[in-house]
Amino acid sequence: MMRGIGRSFGWQEGLIKTAPQVQYIALRIMISKIYQWAKRRCGHVLIGLPDFVGQRAWNPSQASTCQSLLSGAEPEAAFGALHVWTAEGWLYVAAVIDLISRRVVGWSMKAEMTAALVIDALVMAIWRRGKPDALLHHSDQGSQYTSQHFQELLAENGVTCSMSQSGNVWDNAAMESFFSSLKTERIRGKIYRTRDAARADVFDYIERFYNTIRRHSTIGYLSPVEFEKKVGLA
């Protein structure tokens, strides 16, 4: 049997040489199954959530432009996280972006990458925009987003959860674009002595530049704040 399995992988060795390789494959499969079981047992209970954004090409013109995020006919928000190096250690940044206006409506920064990081960012978004009638929230499959506390917060506020499927990075492109801009336009080349210094700089970039000044091609080369004023979202 082992010799047959070995040939299926292109191995030409004899039984004695093939056996350890087959055992290695079996061990990796077993570890993968244990890992998935452990995630479910540790509160990450919603593996395999649907990817509503990846099922279609998202187009801002198809979204409701007369309602704000968290109050329209299924508006959409993207969620993501980034880490920034400082002399004190990593600073983790989580953000929520309105996919209609590209505005960062919620953010959080902490020294640890925990569920509290993304929960605080979502709470800020809800506090700023109001409790949604309908909202599609999209993120990757990070453990912070699959955690029980985060999923309960989504459910309590009537938010539909959508997650990128394995191998599909394009359906969260808006979030990746924001983090890329943050890194290239502000963080890259800087050495932060403290987390507080990095936190202040990221805040300045988001609230005083990205939302208010930086222009985006997807919304007619306006800043997010200008776009919201133009279409009546502000």
- At 13-49, the pLDDT tens digits run 554 555 555 455 554 555 454 445 444 443 444 444 5
The answer on 224 and 111 residing in a single domain is yes
pLDDT band at 52 (very low <50, low <70, confident <90, very high): very low
Query: How many domains does the structure of the chain reveal?
Result: 2
The answer on 148 and 94 residing in a single domain is yes
The answer on 146 and 207 residing in a single domain is yes
- Cβ proximity of 199 and 186 under 8 Å: no
Does 50 reside within a domain? no
For residues 103 and 95, what is the distance between their CA atoms, to the nearest angstrom?
Answer: 10
Does 52 reside within a domain? no
Give residue-wise pLDDT tens across range 186-214: 999 999 999 999 999 999 999 999 999 99
The answer on 30 and 121 residing in a single domain is no
Query: Which positions ≥6 away from 77 have C-beta within 8 Å?
Result: 69, 70, 96, 97, 98, 99, 105, 125, 135, 136, 137, 138
Does 8 reside within a domain? yes
The answer on 98 and 6 residing in a single domain is no
Containing structural domain, residue 15: 2-41
In the predicted model, what is the mean pLDDT of residues 170-179?
78
CATH of the domain at 143: 3.30.420.10
- Nearest Cα to Cα of residue 82 among 110, 122, 123: 110
The pLDDT of residue 215 is above 60: yes
pLDDT band at 108 (very low <50, low <70, confident <90, very high): very high
Question: pTM of the full predicted structure?
Answer: 0.67
The answer on 176 and 220 residing in a single domain is yes
The answer on 155 and 84 residing in a single domain is yes
The answer on 20 and 86 residing in a single domain is no
What is the pairing mode between strands 159-163 and 104-110? unpaired
The answer on 68 and 37 residing in a single domain is no
The answer on 79 and 19 residing in a single domain is no
The residue with greater pLDDT, 79 or 128, is 128
